[in-house]
Amino acid sequence: MEINIKEIYEKYNALLKGHFLLSSGKHSQYYLQSARVLEYPEVAEKIAKALAKKIQSQIEVDTVCSPAIGGLLIGYELARALGVRFIFTERKNGKMELRRGFEVKPNERVLICEDIITTGGSAMEAAREIEKRGGKIVGFAAIANRGICPDKKECKLPKNLPLFTLGNFEFETYEPENCPLCKAGSTPIKPGSRGNQ
Binding positions for Zn ion, rule: CB under 5 A: 27, 179, 181-182, 188
Closer residue to Zn ion, CB minimum distance, 1 or 184: 184
Q: Under the phi-then-psi rule, with left for phi > 0, alpha for psi from -120 to 50, and beta for the rest, what region is 53?
A: alpha
Give the nearest distance from C-beta 35 to Zn ion in angstroms: 23
- Whether residue 173 contacts residue 29, with contact meaning beta carbons closer than 8 Å, is answered with no
- Ramachandran region of residue 2, left (φ > 0), alpha (ψ -120 to 50) or beta? beta
- Helix, strand, coil % over all residues of the chain, rounded to 5: 30, 30, 45
Question: CA-to-CA distance for 32 and 53, rounded, in angstroms?
Answer: 23
Give the integer Cα–Cα distance in Å for 87 and 102.
Answer: 7
Strand partners, 112: 65, 140
Which is closer to Zn ion, CB of 8 or CB of 179? 179
When the beta carbons of 43 and 182 are compared against Zn ion, the nearer one is: 182
- Shortest gap between Cβ of 69 and Zn ion (angstroms)? 24
Least gap, CB of 62 to Zn ion (angstroms): 42
Nearest approach, Cβ of residue 110 and Zn ion (Å): 36
> Which single residue brings its beta carbon nearest to Zn ion?
179
DSSP code of 189?
B
DSSP code of 103? -
**75 or 188, CB closer to Zn ion?**
188
CB of 187 to Zn ion, least distance (A): 8
Measured from the CB atom, is 25 or 101 closer to Zn ion? Answer: 25
3-class secondary structure, 13 = coil
